């Protein structure tokens, strides 16, 4: 599967830099996906790029796997895109489709599952690392807001309030993730696990060997969806 070639990072809702970025590449089509609302101004800025075929990813968008989520309209598009990216990336790794567990550690930690038949069955959502640190600070009277990592801090047991919070959160997340992986492995021995998102963890060896880290899963999934829908659109327009 191709790796992304270039990136444009935009903070906020102003897409003014998008037109110049698009002019550097010969884009034939694009897929727009957002977990927030896309305003009419943003849609106009996307249209101003001059890209001929622009698609918006939502629950009605045709996808190359079956979505069996009971509330598809509430499913985050990033979760579904990552699941699709991982499902096909797994095929590239193994030469066949296998059960896929996708773990995305961001603002929240999401666990999503696709079976061998290409059926997205759903997943779980838990608080992300920073959310846990903030919750301990904001919902208690005296606990400080602690950062995730500190240089030279490799102890297992916290010997101060700060290190106790840090290890409680970071080790708690690590054991949570390992627990989910082991739970799925007990039912799906040939499970393939993909980890994406901004956080990293030091997993046990028997779990680490099952994990493929890929920060581009969402982008890869959106590109697969784009190719799927664009090819169908061209087919029906002939």
| Residue 123 domain flag | yes
With tokens 């590449």, the residue in question is 25
| Residue 175 domain flag | yes
Token pair belonging to 1: 């599967």
Beta strands in the chain (DSSP E): 29-32, 53-56, 66-67, 100-105, 108-114, 119-127, 192-197, 211-213
Q: For residue range 15-74, what is the model confidence (pLDDT) as tens digits?
A: 878 888 888 888 889 999 988 888 898 899 999 999 999 999 999 999 999 999 999 999
| Residue 233 domain flag | no
| Residue 173 domain flag | yes
- Quote the percentage of the chain above a pLDDT of 90: 62
Q: For the chain, what is the domain count?
A: 1
Phi-psi region of 105 (alpha: psi -120 to 50; beta: other; left: phi over 0): beta
Q: If you compute the radius of gyration of the chain from its CA atoms, what whole number of angstroms results? A: 20
In b/e form, how buried is each residue of 85-124, taking b as 16+ CB within 10 angstroms? bbbbbbbeeeeebbbbbbbbbeeebbbbbbbeebebebbe
Q: For residue range 156-197, what is the model confidence (pLDDT) as tens digits?
A: 788 999 999 999 999 899 899 999 999 999 999 999 999 998
pLDDT given for residue 237 in this prediction = 43
CA distance 230 to 227: 5
| Residue 16 domain flag | no
Q: Please check whether residue 113 is in contact with residue 119, taking contact to mean a CB–CB distance below 8 angstroms.
A: no
**CATH number for position 210:** 3.30.420.40
| Residue 141 domain flag | yes
| Residue 174 domain flag | yes
pTM score: 0.87
- Active-site amino acid positions: 78
Domain that includes residue 209, residue range: 70-222
| Residue 230 domain flag | no
Q: Please check whether residue 164 is in contact with residue 81, taking contact to mean a CB–CB distance below 8 angstroms.
A: no
Residue 193's nearest CA partner among 179, 215, 213 is 213
């Amino acid at each position: 599967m191709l790796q992304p070639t270039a990136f444009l990072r935009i903070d906020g809702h102003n897409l003014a830099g998008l037109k110049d970025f698009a002019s550097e590449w010969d884009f034939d089509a694009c897929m727009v996906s957002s977990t927030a609302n896309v305003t009419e101004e943003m849609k106009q800025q996307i249209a101003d790029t001059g890209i001929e075929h622009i698609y918006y990813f939502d629950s009605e968008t045709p996808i190359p796997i079956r979505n069996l989520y009971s509330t598809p309209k509430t499913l985050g598009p990033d979760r579904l895109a990552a699941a699709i990216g991982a499902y096909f990336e797994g095929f590239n790794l193994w030469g066949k489709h296998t059960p896929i567990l996708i773990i995305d550690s961001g603002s929240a930690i999401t666990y999503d599952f696709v079976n061998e038949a290409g059926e997205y069955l759903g997943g779980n959502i838990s608080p992300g690392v920073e959310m846990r640190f903030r919750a301990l600070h904001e919902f208690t009277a005296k606990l400080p807001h602690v950062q995730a990592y500190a240089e030279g801090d490799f102890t297992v047991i916290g010997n101060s309030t700060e290190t106790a919070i840090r290890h409680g959160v970071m080790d708690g997340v690590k054991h949570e993730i390992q627990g989910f992986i082991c739970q799925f492995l007990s039912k799906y021995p040939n499970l393939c696990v993909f980890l994406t998102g901004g956080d990293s963890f030091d997993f046990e060896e028997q779990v680490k060997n099952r994990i493929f880290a890929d920060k581009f899963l969402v982008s890869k999934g959106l590109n697969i969806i784009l190719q799927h829908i664009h090819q169908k659109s061209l087919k029906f327009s002939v």
